[in-house]
Structure 1
Amino acid sequence: MAINRREYLKGTASVAAGGLLGGSLGSMPAQAQSRADTLRHVMGAVFTSLDPTFAGATRESFPLSMNVYDRLASFGKKDVPGGSVFDMDTIRGELAEKIDRSADGLTYTFHIRQGATWHDGTPVEAEDIKWSLDRAVSAASNSKAQMNNGSMTSPDQFKVVGERQVEIKTERPDRLTLATFCVPYIPMFNSKLAKQHATSDDPWAINWLKENTAGGGAYVVESNRPGQQVVLRRNEKWKNGPDGALPFFQRVIVQTIPDISARASLLERGDADLTLDAAASDIPGLEQRGRVQVVAVPQSNAWQSIALNTLAAPFDDVKLRQAVAAALPYEDMFNAALFGRGQRLFGADWTQPPRNVIPQPMPFRHNLDKAKKLLSESGHASGLKTSFSFPASASATAEPMAALIKESLAKIGIEVAVQKLPDAQMATAVSERRLPMFFDFFTAWLPTSEYVTRIFLTATTRWNPSGWNDAIATKLGDDARYETDKAKYDAMIGQVIERYLAATPVVMLWHPNHDAVVAKNIKGYTYWFHRGADYRDLKRV
Structure 2
Amino acid sequence: MHHFKRLAASTAIVLCASGALAQDSITVAIQLEPPNLDPTSGAAQAIDSVLYANVFEGLTRFDADGAIIRGLAQSWDISEDGLTYTFNLAAGVTFHDGTTMDAEDVKFSLDRARAEDSTNAQKALFADIADVTVIDPLKLQVTLSKPNGMFLFNMAWGDAVIVAPESIDTIATNPIGTGPFAFANWVQGDRLELARNDSYWGAAPALETATFRFISDPTAAFAAMMAEDVDVFVGFPAPENLPQFAADPRFQVLNGNTEGETILAMNNQREPFDNPLVRRAVTHAIDRQAIIDGAMFGQGTPIGTHFAPHNPDYVDLLANSQFDPELSRSLLAEAGLADGFTTTLKLPPPSYARRGGEIIASQLRAVGIETEIANLEWAQWIEEVFTNKDFGLSIVSHTEPMDINIYANPGYYFQYDNADFRAVLDELNATTDPAGRSALLAQAQTIISEDYVNAYLFQLGVATVARAEITGLWVNQPTAAVDLTGVSWGN
Is the Cα–Cα contact under 8 Å of residues 263 and 458 in structure 2 kept in the other structure? yes
Q: 2:410 aligns with which of 460, 471, 478?
A: 460
Q: Partners of 1:152 and 1:210 in 2: how far apart?
A: 27
Matched, 1:367 2:324: yes
Q: Partners of 2:184 and 2:91 in 1: how far apart?
A: 26
Q: 1:479 aligns with which of 403, 427, 433?
A: 427
Write the letter of the residue equivalent to 1:336: G
Cα distance change of structure 1 residues 172 and 266 upon mapping to structure 2, 3 Å threshold: same
Q: Secondary structure at the match of 1:185?
A: helix
Cα distance change of structure 1 residues 139 and 58 upon mapping to structure 2, 3 Å threshold: farther
1:39-118 superposed matches below 5 A? 39-43=26-30, 45-47=32-34, 49-53=36-40, 59-60=46-47, 63-78=50-65, 87=66, 90-118=67-95
Matched, 1:439 2:397: no
Q: Partners of 1:408 and 1:338 in 2: how far apart?
A: 16
Q: Secondary structure at the match of 2:230?
A: coil
Cα distance change of structure 1 residues 114 and 410 upon mapping to structure 2, 3 Å threshold: closer
The aligned residue for residue 349 of structure 2 is 393
Residue 335 of structure 1, CA deviation: 0.9
1:204-215 superposed matches below 5 A? 205-215=167-177
Q: Which runs of 5+ in 1 are unaligned?
A: 1-28, 79-86, 196-204, 348-352
The aligned residue for residue 510 of structure 1 is 458
Q: TM-score, normalised by structure 2?
A: 0.80
The aligned residue for residue 250 of structure 1 is 208
Matched, 1:490 2:446: no
Residue 49 of structure 1, CA deviation: 4.4
Question: Can you list the C-alpha shifts for 1:166-185, whole angstroms capped at 9, x where unaligned?
Answer: 11111111233222322223
Is the Cα–Cα contact under 8 Å of residues 31 and 237 in structure 2 kept in the other structure? no
Is the Cα–Cα contact under 8 Å of residues 64 and 478 in structure 2 kept in the other structure? no
Matched, 1:218 2:180: yes
The aligned residue for residue 535 of structure 1 is 484
Write the letter of the residue equivalent to 1:233: A
Higher relative contact order (CA 8 A, sep 6+): 2
The aligned residue for residue 374 of structure 2 is 420
The aligned residue for residue 5 of structure 1 is none
The aligned residue for residue 169 of structure 1 is 143
Matched, 1:151 2:127: yes
Residue 343 of structure 1, CA deviation: 1.5
Residue 332 of structure 1, CA deviation: 1.4
Write the letter of the residue equivalent to 2:347: P
The aligned residue for residue 344 of structure 1 is 302
Residue 260 of structure 1, CA deviation: 5.2
Cα distance change of structure 1 residues 92 and 44 upon mapping to structure 2, 3 Å threshold: closer
Cα distance change of structure 1 residues 377 and 274 upon mapping to structure 2, 3 Å threshold: same
Is the Cα–Cα contact under 8 Å of residues 315 and 445 in structure 2 kept in the other structure? no
RMSD: 3.8
Cα distance change of structure 1 residues 133 and 293 upon mapping to structure 2, 3 Å threshold: same
Cα distance change of structure 1 residues 512 and 107 upon mapping to structure 2, 3 Å threshold: same
Q: Secondary structure at the match of 2:88?
A: strand
Q: Partners of 1:430 and 1:236 in 2: how far apart?
A: 38
Question: Can you list the C-alpha shifts for 1:301-350, whole angstroms capped at 9, x where unaligned?
Answer: 22222234444544444344334333322221221121111111159xxx
The aligned residue for residue 4 of structure 2 is none
* Stretch deviating more after TM superposition (423-432 or 62-71): 423-432
Is the Cα–Cα contact under 8 Å of residues 268 and 292 in structure 1 kept in the other structure? no
Q: Partners of 1:67 and 1:39 in 2: how far apart?
A: 13
Cα distance change of structure 1 residues 260 and 468 upon mapping to structure 2, 3 Å threshold: closer
Question: Can you list the C-alpha shifts for 1:510-531, whole angstroms capped at 9, x where unaligned?
Answer: 0122222211111221144442
The aligned residue for residue 473 of structure 2 is 525
Residue 393 of structure 1, CA deviation: 2.4
The aligned residue for residue 161 of structure 2 is 187
Residues matched between the structures, number: 467
Q: Partners of 2:301 and 2:148 in 1: how far apart?
A: 30
The aligned residue for residue 325 of structure 1 is 283
The aligned residue for residue 293 of structure 1 is 252
Q: Partners of 2:230 and 2:381 in 1: how far apart?
A: 35
Residue 534 of structure 1, CA deviation: 0.8
Is the Cα–Cα contact under 8 Å of residues 346 and 361 in structure 1 kept in the other structure? yes
Q: Partners of 1:477 and 1:105 in 2: how far apart?
A: 17
Q: Partners of 1:164 and 1:47 in 2: how far apart?
A: 32
Write the letter of the residue equivalent to 1:419: I
Is the Cα–Cα contact under 8 Å of residues 52 and 62 in structure 1 kept in the other structure? no
Residue 481 of structure 1, CA deviation: 2.2
Is the Cα–Cα contact under 8 Å of residues 246 and 252 in structure 2 kept in the other structure? no
Q: Secondary structure at the match of 1:66?
A: coil
Write the letter of the residue equivalent to 2:293: N
* Stretch deviating more after TM superposition (133-142 or 175-184): 133-142
Q: Which has the larger radius of gyration?
A: 1
> What percent of counterpart residues are identical?
21
Q: Partners of 1:229 and 1:370 in 2: how far apart?
A: 48
Write the letter of the residue equivalent to 1:386: T
Is the Cα–Cα contact under 8 Å of residues 310 and 505 in structure 1 kept in the other structure? yes
Q: Which runs of 5+ in 2 are unaligned?
A: 1-11
Is the Cα–Cα contact under 8 Å of residues 57 and 162 in structure 2 kept in the other structure? yes
Q: TM-score, normalised by structure 1?
A: 0.73
Write the letter of the residue equivalent to 2:323: H
Q: Partners of 2:385 and 2:161 in 1: how far apart?
A: 33
Question: Can you list the C-alpha shifts for 1:206-259, whole angstroms capped at 9, x where unaligned?
Answer: 33344445433212334555554443332345353xxxx432212223345676
Q: Secondary structure at the match of 2:158?
A: coil
Is the Cα–Cα contact under 8 Å of residues 242 and 253 in structure 2 kept in the other structure? no
Q: Partners of 2:364 and 2:35 in 1: how far apart?
A: 41
